[in-house]
Structure formats: structure tokens, C-alpha cells
Structure 1
Amino acid sequence: MDIDNYYSTRKNVFERIQDASTATKVLMSLLMACFTGIMAQIIIPLPWTPVPITAQTFAVLCSGLILGKKYGCLSQILYVVLGIAFIPWFGGMTGGLETFLGSTCGFFIGFIIAAYFVGFITERYTKARNFTRMAIVIGIANFVLIYIPGLAGLALFLSTQGMTFGIVDLLMMGLVPFIAGDIVKILGAASVSKVFLPKD
């Protein structure tokens, strides 16, 4: 009986989020943007790259899971826009246009795309909400939709700094050091899907 109550409650909460008013959804998007900003302060700088390890991608991935494609995407747009405008909640309590246009610009763009993609799959395909399938979906969002624009932006930034680098150098600065931590965040977000999202 307890497990039935859990399933029922999980479905009711999910449906309430889906059926909430536009104002409520925008507020939830703002709260998720705040969560992303908080997670961005969990930071491990690396001496050989301008891109630090942060926990914010976990919040990015969860935004799509919890809020869906439209408002999950909106949460990351709010995170980026408010960070540029006046809230110093990018990694290391930084903000502003200069920070946005720096080495991590492509990753910010990837956050918006990834949140939309995860939300789209979550909304459209209920069978994708189990742990294994969602881990694959989130893995694609993380390693393809975040890292492709992220690495492109990093390459552009390094070029503007007059630095000479090869593809291996770029991967060592923008991808390889983050793989282990990203796998943990992907599994964590997939666990959120398993626990909180209804499967029917």
C-alpha cells in the first residue's frame, strides 16, 4: 500500500507541475536558475585550463527533468541573462558580459540546449523515464549538447587570446578532466528521474 501511495503522490506532483499556471512555472524556472547558480559555486579550479569543474550541470540536467522543455530551457536562459545583467552567480561568484563571453561561453549556450532536450524527451516519451534510458538521454545532453558548443566556444576564446593549440590540447582543457565528475552528475540526474518522475 505504501508503494502505491508513493506512485500516486509522484504522479500527482508531476501533474501539478505540468498543470501549474504560467506565473507559477516562471517562478519555478527562476528557482531552478537560483539552484543552478548555487551549484555553480561548488567549484574545483584546474591549473591547466580556464574551465573549472563545477556542479552546475547537475542543476541544468534536472531543470529539464523537473520543469520540461519550455520552462527547463527558460530556467537556464534566466540563469544566463540574470548572470550577465547583475547577479554574480556564475562559477566562483562571477558575472557580467565579460565573464559570459569568456572561456565558458559555449557551455552556457549548451546548458540552454541541453535543458530543452532533456525536457523534450521527458515530456514526450514516458518510457524514457526509467533509470537506464534517462541516463543515456542525459549522457547525450551532457557530452554532446553541452560539450560541442562548449569546446567550440573554448577554441574561439583561446584563439582570441593568441594561443596556439591542437585538438588534444582542447580536449584536455575542455573535456577530459570533467568526464568522471560528469558521469556522477549524469547518474545523479537519472536517479532524480527514477525517483520523482511517473512512468505512465
Structure 2
Amino acid sequence: MTLISLFAALTAVGAFISIPLYPVPLTLQTLFTLLAAMTLGSVMGASSQIIYVLLGVIGLPVFAGFKAGIGILFGPTGGFLLGFIVCAFIVGKIMELKNEKNIFYYLGAGLIGTIILYIIGITQLSLVTGIGIKKAIAVGMLPFLPGDILKIIAVSFIASKLKPIIELK
């Protein structure tokens, strides 16, 4: 339970480290979502993201731009927030499939999780704003790809070193 809470808090901190782009801000939330999934597994990783989202829904300003409330989930960025939960669960499941993992396994899991996150986030961005899928990709994905690739690389190395330590506890 402590690790779940820790990763929920880290995801909130990741939201505060933000470059305000419109309509989707650049944050470190994806890094902590992937790190939770890779180190805690599917259920605990997804649980950390559920707690993070619930904290924002009940009014704590833990979303990017110090925003809060259930309305955020129905706005342009709500798909990304809900996508954190799905991403964490699926990446965690991928990590549970194999005992011996090399860095490429972590990189692949991170890439799959990020693609899933984009599918959910871009879909809602397009539907809520009415801008169409191509425009949603142009404003909600393309500007973030270089940073997300760097985050996947960083989190893969961090998780590959951190996971054995967490498993010892």
C-alpha cells in the first residue's frame, strides 16, 4: 500500500512539473505512470493511477496546471488521465509475463504503454474538441513524441535497476 501511495504522489508531482502547451500540457506524469507499472506490476501500478485520478476528482489540485474536479475527466485531457490507469495495467501485465527481462523488454513495454495512452487520450481530445483525429494527433501527440521517447528510455533504465530492489522488500 505504501508503494501504491508513493507512486500516486509521484504522478501528482509529475503533473506539477509542467510546460503549459494547449490543449495538452507537457508533464512528467507518463514517466511516473510507466515507472509504477514497470516496478509494481499490473494491479498495484494501476491502483496507484486510480488513486491519483480519484484525488483529482475529489478536488485536490493534482492534475496539470493545479487543476481538479470530475469535469477534467470529461475535458480535452481527460482521456490521458484515464489512459494512465489502462496504460499502467497493461504495462504491468507485460512486465509480469516474463521473469528475466533485459532493457529492450522494458523499452518495448514502455512503447506499448505510451501507444495505448495516446490512443485513449487522442480519441477523447478529438471527440471533446471536435477537431478531428488528424488535428488531435497534430496537437496532442506529435509535439510530445520526442519527450515521450526520452521518458521511455529513462524510465526503462530506472525501472530495470529499481525493480530488483523493490522485489527484495
2: CA distance, partners of 1:42 / 1:177: 17
| Per-residue deviation, residues 152-178 of structure 1 (Å, max 9, x unmatched) | 11011103xxxxx34331111111000
2: CA distance, partners of 1:184 / 1:114: 17
- TM-score using structure 2 length: 0.91
Pick one of 12, 29, 47 that aligns with 1:56: 29
Q: Structure 2 unaligned runs (5+)?
A: 165-169
| Per-residue deviation, residues 80-122 of structure 1 (Å, max 9, x unmatched) | 0111102111001111112222111111121101111121122
In structure 1, the residue corresponding to 2:41 is in which secondary structure?
A: helix
Matched, 1:150 2:121: yes
| Per-residue deviation, residues 31-50 of structure 1 (Å, max 9, x unmatched) | 1101000011111122xx31
1: CA distance, partners of 2:95 / 2:132: 37
1: CA distance, partners of 2:162 / 2:18: 27
User: Residue 34 of structure 1 aligns with which residue?
Assistant: 9
1: CA distance, partners of 2:163 / 2:57: 32
Where do 4+ consecutive residues of structure 1 move more than 3 Å? none
Q: Work out the percentage of aligned pairs sharing the same amino acid.
A: 36
How far is 1:196 from its partner? 2.3
User: Residue 133 of structure 2 aligns with which residue?
Assistant: 167
- TM-score using structure 1 length: 0.78
Pick one of 77, 80, 84 that aligns with 1:104: 77
The question of whether the paired residues in 2 share the 8 Å contact of 1:131 and 1:193 is answered with no
Q: Which amino acid aligns with 2:87?
A: A
Alignment of 1:113-192 (within 5 A): 113-127=86-100, 129-143=101-115, 145-159=116-130, 165-192=131-158
| Per-residue deviation, residues 50-82 of structure 1 (Å, max 9, x unmatched) | 111111100000011121111110000000011
Q: Structure 1 unaligned runs (5+)?
A: 1-25, 160-164
In structure 2, the residue corresponding to 1:155 is in which secondary structure?
A: helix
